Amino acid sequence: MGIVRVGLGAVEYRVIIEPGALSRVGGTIREACLPSGVHVVSNPTVWGLYGAVVERSLREAGLLGAAPDFVSLVPDAETAKSLTHLSGLYDDLVSRRLDRAVAVVAVGGGVVGDLAGLAAATYLRGVALVQVPTTLLAQVDASVGGKVAIDHREGKNLIGAFHHPRAVVVDPSTLATLAPREFAAGMAEVIKHALIADEAYLRFLEEKGEDLRGLEPGVLERAITRSVEIKAAVVGRDEREAGPRALLNLGHTIGHGVEAATGYGRYRHGEAVAVGIVGAAWVSARMGLAAGDLVARVESVLAKYNLPTRLAGAVPASEVLAAMGHDKKRRGERLRWVLLRAPGDPLYGHEVPAAVAREALSYLGAAD
């Protein structure tokens, strides 16, 4: 079993990573926060697959009582991260008259975690939150770090809060039912973690491609645990994104630009980030910060996990650049990027001239 302690000043919680953890989630929640009751947030896809196991464990732990309405299901789509669905959750919590000692339990991917997290951050000025992430992306990224949010029509994650969970319960065996494309999207963040923090971990990912794609339990648990450790360490140094936390944005400058320029429909976030990571490696080499072979190494490990390394279809460079200009990571007039001197040796806040960014996009296959 992997246990990662996330420590941020007064806040401390455990991320438990273990096959079968789902069937013990009730006991884990009791240990973490002794709630008066629980309210679960999930979606029909995930609840259809794992609802019975979770419900049994919550019942065994004495957390459900007689309540038949302990679960709110939200639509299985990014559109669930809206005021409408947040408001629906408040209605459910209020109509159950849940008090401040309730724990909100998010069972699902990043969409469910972000929405349920914001409800927990604000209901009665904040109640306990337990994250039970079931996508790779949510397990290694979204569930750790305390960011919770909904979207606004003008942009993603514009309405949110910092609200740390009391515990994160990761059951890697849930990934068996995840679509391969979703698994790959999560791997982009995993590879990002290796690149910003740990060259040996990158070698592990390079060597274990087949095992990891085949969900070999030991290898999977090791990878999730190492990724969560890296994210927790970065976030622990800098909870609110002023400095080092920005390292987690490797690949995200171009990635966000590509997502915006393609209307958020064509690429999964992780796929856009994969292309963005190649772009960041290319810029690092082009600016003389990294050796030229960094680009090939980065492309090869991403390809091993079926991630794109180039843009497909006509993605206009000018639109990506324009969208990057609106990126919230921008400070003043200059674009600041996370670059790499080598795997495990990142540089934060490096200024990249617009002309070099344009060259990088052309390398990535963007249209003029």
Cβ-contact 267, 319 below 8 angstroms: no
Query: Stretches 135-143, 204-212, 307-315, 322-330: which one binds ligand NAD (CB under 6 A)?
Result: 135-143
| Per-residue contact string for residues 246-275; x = within reach of ligand NAD by CB under 6 A | ------------------------------
Which of 33, 71, 142, 360 lies at the binding interface for ligand NAD (CB under 6 A)?
142
Q: Could you please report the per-residue DSSP string of 52-87?
A: HHHHHHHHHTT--TT-S--EEE--SSGGGSSHHHHH
Q: Say whether residue 159 binds ligand NAD (CB under 6 A).
A: no
Rg (C-alpha) for the chain, rounded Å, is 20
The yes-or-no answer on residue 208 being catalytic is: no
Q: Say whether residue 110 binds ligand NAD (CB under 6 A).
A: yes
The single residue listed with the structure tokens 């060597």 is 207
The yes-or-no answer on residue 189 being catalytic is: yes
Q: Taking the complex as a whole, how short is the minimal distance between the CB of residue 354 and ligand NAD, in angstroms?
A: 27
The yes-or-no answer on residue 252 being catalytic is: yes
Catalytic residue among 24, 208, 252, 336: 252
Cβ-contact 47, 106 below 8 angstroms: no
- Counting residues that bind ligand NAD (by CB under 6 A) gives 28
Q: Taking the complex as a whole, how short is the minimal distance between the CB of residue 40 and ligand NAD, in angstroms?
A: 14
Q: Say whether residue 178 binds ligand NAD (CB under 6 A).
A: yes
Query: Stretches 133-141, 238-246, 335-343, 352-360: which one binds ligand NAD (CB under 6 A)?
Result: 133-141
Question: Residue 109 or residue 257: which is nearer to ligand NAD going by CB?
Answer: 109
Phi, psi of 162 (to 5 degrees): -100, 120
Phi, psi of 61 (to 5 degrees): -80, 0
Q: Could you please report the per-residue DSSP string of 151-180?
A: EETTEEEEEEEE---SEEEE-GGGGGGS-H
Q: Taking the complex as a whole, how short is the minimal distance between the CB of residue 228 and ligand NAD, in angstroms?
A: 12
Question: Residue 23 or residue 157: which is nearer to ligand NAD going by CB?
Answer: 157
Question: Residue 168 or residue 364: which is nearer to ligand NAD going by CB?
Answer: 168
Q: Say whether residue 147 binds ligand NAD (CB under 6 A).
A: yes
Cα of 268 vs its chain's centroid, Å: 12
Strand partners, 105: 40, 130
Rounded CA separation 187/256 (Å): 17
Q: Taking the complex as a whole, how short is the minimal distance between the CB of residue 62 and ligand NAD, in angstroms?
A: 26
The yes-or-no answer on residue 231 being catalytic is: yes
The dihedral region occupied by 288, where left means phi > 0, alpha psi between -120 and 50, and beta the remainder, is left
The encoded tokens of residue 211 equal 């095992």
Q: Say whether residue 129 binds ligand NAD (CB under 6 A).
A: no
Sign of CA dihedral 270, 275, 278, 284: negative
Q: Taking the complex as a whole, how short is the minimal distance between the CB of residue 97 and ligand NAD, in angstroms?
A: 29
Which of 109, 236, 257, 308 lies at the binding interface for ligand NAD (CB under 6 A)?
109
- Report the candidate in 247, 360, 246 with the shortest Cα–Cα distance to residue 309: 360
Q: Say whether residue 212 binds ligand NAD (CB under 6 A).
A: no
Q: Taking the complex as a whole, how short is the minimal distance between the CB of residue 334 and ligand NAD, in angstroms?
A: 25
Q: Say whether residue 157 binds ligand NAD (CB under 6 A).
A: yes
Rounded CA separation 28/21 (Å): 9
The yes-or-no answer on residue 304 being catalytic is: no
Question: Residue 114 or residue 229: which is nearer to ligand NAD going by CB?
Answer: 114
The encoded tokens of residue 181 equal 């494309």
Strands (E), 67-137: 71-73, 102-108, 128-133
Q: Which parts of 42-81 interact with ligand NAD (CB under 6 A)?
A: 43, 45-46, 49, 76, 78, 81
- Report the candidate in 134, 138, 107, 104 with the shortest Cα–Cα distance to residue 118: 104
The yes-or-no answer on residue 241 being catalytic is: yes
The catalytic residue positions are: 125, 147, 189, 231, 241, 245, 249, 252, 256, 269
Interacting residues toward ligand NAD by CB under 6 A: 43, 45-46, 49, 76, 78, 81, 108-112, 114, 134-135, 137-138, 141-142, 145, 147, 156-157, 174, 177-178, 182, 185
